[in-house]
Amino acid sequence: MSQPTLLFYCQHSLGMGHLVRSFALIRELAPGFKVVFLNGGRLPPGLPVPSRIRIIQLPPLGMSADKGLVSLDEELTLEEAQAQREAMLLAAWSRFRPQVIIVELFPFGRKKFRKELVALLHQATRGNDLNPLVLCSLRDILIGGRSDQQRHDDRAADLLDRYFDAVLVHADPSFARLEESFKPSRVCNTPVYYTGFVLPHRESAGVSAEREERILVSAGGGIVGGPLFAAAVQAQRVLWPLSGVPMTIVAGPFLPDSDWRALQAAVRSTPALTVLRSVPNLGASMREVCWSVSQCGYNTAMDIVSSRVAALFVPFADAQENEQTNRAARLVECGAAHMLSAGQLDGRLLARGIQQLMHFEPQQSCFDLGGAANTAVIVNRLVAEIPQRRLAHAVGADL
């Protein structure tokens, strides 16, 4: 019997967290499915791509500094890229006729990509008995505080009930539940399954027994890491005479070139400072050091929880981005980390926060960290139920 085909759509715009989590899921799904991966952003150099999958690279889109959508292909305007992407999505549906479609984040986010995604979902769910299973892959905590938050949630609920068969929330429900950050004004009928947290694929080894007395500073892909890194350089100039502890900054592949050049220049005037563009395995690096300073994206948080490194979060936040602050506050409440507000960020305050961190022993979490494997189990079970769903649909049509 041939494997069913699974179409997986992922659009990463600011960082690479969505892509890393999606790849971790695909590695568990690939043994049971022919996976076709629709990639909407740039593939970061050096990021391992899962084997045994087919990647369709859409014309990449990203976000500008003012949150507008931009084409990352210099040969295409935004409008040309959007038209090509929609055509490619529909062509992928027609060519592969997948039994399963997984869409990452939408309709809870990715509003700017609604046109192409609704076109795909409408084409795939036009009411015949061969409709695919359509699932949403969702992180633990959603962004809140939009000026039109109620309208946003109501629109998402309508799209869920119209096109989706289930939502897969990649969280432990004891840590975060969907209804805490998603509050439509009517009951949403789409089933929700909690998978547990999805560890980045790099998670494999246990916690190191021997840790180096070193401060590791990171910011995920690095695209909004510049202020944290600048403060870390200042903090190291304060800390070195007091503690004699070296610092390594991992910039990330998306850190703007101007910020990277500033970091390289800072090495010459900052004692015991090392800067790296990237490392093959950030989670492994966290296991090898005593202290971590970072933002609080989903994958970074999972690396910190699994490595049990003493961690100081400086979550990325702006007027419409409270997800990282929310996640960091919950982890602080669990005894897993310390937190410093990005609004308080300067070298001396960061140095003080790191000094306090040096006396902190994180508590071991008891969260479900088997989200990738659990997702594969849930998806396979839902696929096995497709014949019953189609039978119920046929009976309903006859009535």
Q: What is the pLDDT of residues 360-372, one digit of tens each?
A: 999 988 899 999 9
Per residue in 212-228, pLDDT (tens digit) is 999 999 998 888 899 99
Q: What percent of the chain stands above pLDDT 90?
A: 76
The span from the CA of 16 to the CA of 24, in Å, is 12
State pTM to two decimals: 0.91
CB 42 within 8 A of CB 60: yes
Residue-wise pLDDT for 179-193, tens only, equals 999 999 999 999 999
Q: Are the C-beta atoms of residues 231 and 350 closer than 8 Å to each other?
A: yes
Superfamily of domain 212-357: Glycogen Phosphorylase B; (3.40.50.2000)
pLDDT the model gives residue 380 = 96
The top-level CATH class assigned to 5-198+370-398 is: alpha beta
Give the relative orientation of helices 371-384 and 17-29 as an angle to the nearest 10 degrees. Answer: 60
**pLDDT (0 to 100) of residue 67:** 74
Q: In this model, does residue 396 exceed pLDDT 50?
A: no
| CA separation for the pair 141, 384 (Å, rounded) | 29
Contact 228, 259 (CB under 8 A): no
Q: What is the CA radius of gyration of the chain?
A: 22
How confident is the model over 183-206, as a mean pLDDT?
Answer: 85
φ/ψ region of 144 (left if φ > 0, alpha if ψ in -120 to 50, else beta) reads: beta
Asked whether residue 394 carries a pLDDT value surpassing 90, the answer given is no
pLDDT tens per residue, range 158-175:
999 999 999 999 999 999
**Start-end of CATH 3.40.50.2000 domains in the chain:** 5-198+370-398, 212-357
Note the pLDDT tens digit of each residue in 292-344: 999 999 999 999 999 999 999 999 887 667 899 999 999 999 999 999 987 87
- Would the pLDDT of 28 be above 70? yes
